[in-house]
Structure formats: structure tokens, C-alpha cells
Amino acid sequence: MGQFEGKTAVVTGGSSGIGLATAERLAAEGAHVFVTGRRETELQKAVAAIGNATAVAGDVSVAADVDRLYERVRERGNGLDVLFANAGINHLARLDELTEEDHDRIFDINVKGTFLTVQKALPLLNDGASVILTASTSAESGTERFGAYGASKAAVRAYGRTWANELVGRGIRINVISPGPADTPLFDLFGERAEEMKAAIGAALPAKRIADPGEIAAAVLFLASQESSFVYGANLYVDGGMNQI
């Protein structure tokens, strides 16, 4: 039996990258995984790859879409044991280039979406459930053109600390994971230079490479499992040493 046998999990932003890798790992360990994302075609492909999963298309920044996701979870009747609030977007722009529309879209998905995802899960979360939020090393690095993204992920980190304190009475653990550069569709922002940027960024890390999404997923599973039963409100860096050395 897997360590999540009989458990129910939700992964937002689960169509690709870290979300998909985590959903695959949770399902392989016995969980039934509800996966959500904005693109129906990619979502259906992801669920086919995951196996023991249910697709619920939607935008985490839209309250009605989040409600629809949790209605499907409620119908299953087992509550919710693992919540990975992972959905996020980025837009590369310097301060003088960033538009109000792009700024607000980043905060709608990354911050408001995280808030709605966790708040609306509260009635379903079983006592002892684990919630993991996706932040980023960009919250601290000050990387050029990552200003709005970094600020949004700093907000996610702040939410993680506060919510961990507020939900401790139910035995619900909330932790944050801060990935460094990983081989995900976020690199598509660089267009034709994507592979060049992966190599250049990887070479600058102590690990001398960017992460495979499965390496981030392994850390998420640790925080989701009883192996981390004494970990509350933490921010786990999985960054190849980027912000550590």
C-alpha cells in the first residue's frame, strides 16, 4: 500500500510542470487526485497520464470555479486530506514595462487564487490534513523582471505562516515550498531562448542544473505525508542551492 492509500488530494495548476509531477506521485502512492487547470485539453491529457484522477477545469481566481471543484470533491464523500495550492503564472517585465493589467492578473492567480483555494477547502479538510502552498525563491531574490511575480510569492509565504497558526487547532498543517528554477512551461516565456536560458541559469546554480519537476514533487510529498508530521508553517527551499549558498 502507498502512503496515501485511500486519501483524497487536490492539486491546482496540475496540467503540467510541478503540479502534474506531484499529482502523478500522489496517485502512484494511492491517493485519488482532483486536478484543476484552465486549459481543458491539457487537463484531460494530464488526467490520462496520472491515472487515479478527476479533472475539473477552472480558474482559481474565479470563486465559482473553485466552488465547482470542491463540489466534485464533496460528492466523493471522503473529505480532503492533501491540498497542493500550486496554480501560478508569471509575466516578465521591468517596473517601467509592467502594465496594470499584467500586474493584476499575476496577483489574481497567484495570491487571490491561493486564498480562494484554501479558504473554500476549509469545510472539506479532514482533521490532520496537509496543505502545501507554492511560493518561489523569486520572493527574495530581487531578480530583474520578476518584480510582480516575486511580490505575489512573498504574499503566499506570508499567508502560509498566518494560516498555519490559525488552523493548528484542527491539526491541519500548512507549509510552503519555494522551488528554484525547474524545467516547467514557465520557461516558455523566453520563447526561442528557452533552452539557452535553462542552460545559463542552471550553470549559475550550485547544483549546476535546473530541477526536474519530479524533484520538486518529491519535496511536496514529504510535506504532504506523515514523514513531516512535526513541520508547521515552514518554507522548504528546493532550489539547487540558489538562495542558500
Q: Which three cell numbers stand for residue 41?
A: 485539453
CB atoms inside a 10 Å sphere around CB 159: 19
Coil vs helix vs strand at 1: coil
Residues 94-113 have pLDDT tens digits of 999 999 999 999 999 999 99
CATH number for the domain running over 8-238? 3.40.50.720
Residues annotated catalytic, as ranges: 149
Coil vs helix vs strand at 10: strand
pLDDT, one tens digit for every residue, the chain (245 residues): 699 999 999 999 999 999 999 999 999 999 999 999 999 999 999 999 999 999 999 999 999 999 999 999 999 999 999 999 999 999 999 999 999 999 999 999 999 999 999 999 999 999 999 999 999 999 999 999 999 999 999 999 999 999 999 999 999 999 999 999 999 887 887 888 889 989 999 999 999 999 999 999 999 999 999 999 999 999 999 999 999 99
Measured at the alpha carbon of residue 74, what is the angle toward residues 120 and 76, in degrees to the nearest 5?
Answer: 145
Measured at the alpha carbon of residue 71, what is the angle toward residues 65 and 77, in degrees to the nearest 5?
Answer: 155
CA of residue 194 relative to chain centroid, distance: 22
Residues 220-244 have pLDDT tens digits of 999 999 999 999 999 999 999 999 9
Measured at the alpha carbon of residue 10, what is the angle toward residues 77 and 35, in degrees to the nearest 5?
Answer: 110
Q: Based on C-alpha coordinates, what's the Rg of the chain?
A: 17
Beta strands 125-134 and 173-179 are parallel
Which pLDDT score is estimated for 36? 97
Which pLDDT score is estimated for 185? 81
